[in-house]
Structure 1
Amino acid sequence: MFNDTAKIARIFEYLLAVKNLNEKIIRNINHYEQVWWEKDIPQMDGFYIGGSGTNEDAWFEVHKQEIPTVPPVPSELKKWVTKHDNPEQPPTVLEVLVVGIDDEENEIVEVFDEDQLLNAFALLQ
């Protein structure tokens, strides 16, 4: 079994070496598609440069972050707010809500009241 594994590993090493024969060697840093300098990398939680993380020998480290859950929408506002799956996208607040249709087939609408919003958030605190 070990002998077969070694043979398979050598085959892949050979294939990689053949592939690399066609690769262009970049000898000047300015010829790379993109260059990241340490000063250009934003300082963020969980991202460490130059051994400042848990491993002193690491050039850089990235640690998974704990992202807090979004607070629930107050029940008074649920019909006015559309939440999105994307945490980067803020919720959409409807300004007008269609609540029904009258006898003449006109929409019956309810307009968002900002006082209702302020009262709902005051209850959260």
Structure 2
Amino acid sequence: MLTTALFGGSLQPIALATLWPGRLGLERWRMLAALGVAASTLVVSRPVRDAIPDALRPSVFVILAIHLPNTLVGLDADRVRHRAVLAFDADEVEERSSFASVSEAPTDFQFFLHTAALKNGKPYAWS
């Protein structure tokens, strides 16, 4: 139910990670996501377990398991895209963070413009 609310279907994140891993365009995104999920398991590890009340532990785990990977991958995506934009050397550039697109999801057809550039009078867009 949570994945349906966040991604538009329960199989969407699984398909992205397994069937379409190249669609995100980042080399390390699966490693960063796995690192975030692994870090969220610390919530149930013995040293941390006593610091978090039993009633809050599942919520803290889910929040970390979703937000930590999203943050790590989003920061990497912004870094990679910004470097590419600098190398492109456009005349005019307007960039928007990956985190802005999270608030736009899910939609039937999602086209979120992360970066728009103008070079030699020709427009370019990264989504």
Smaller-chain TM-score range?
Answer: under 0.3
In terms of Rg, which structure is larger?
1
Larger RCO (CA within 8 A; separation ≥ 6) = 2
Structure in which a larger fraction of residues adopt helix: 2
Structure in which a larger fraction of residues adopt strand = 1
Please report the TM-score for the alignment, with normalisation by the length of structure 2: 0.22
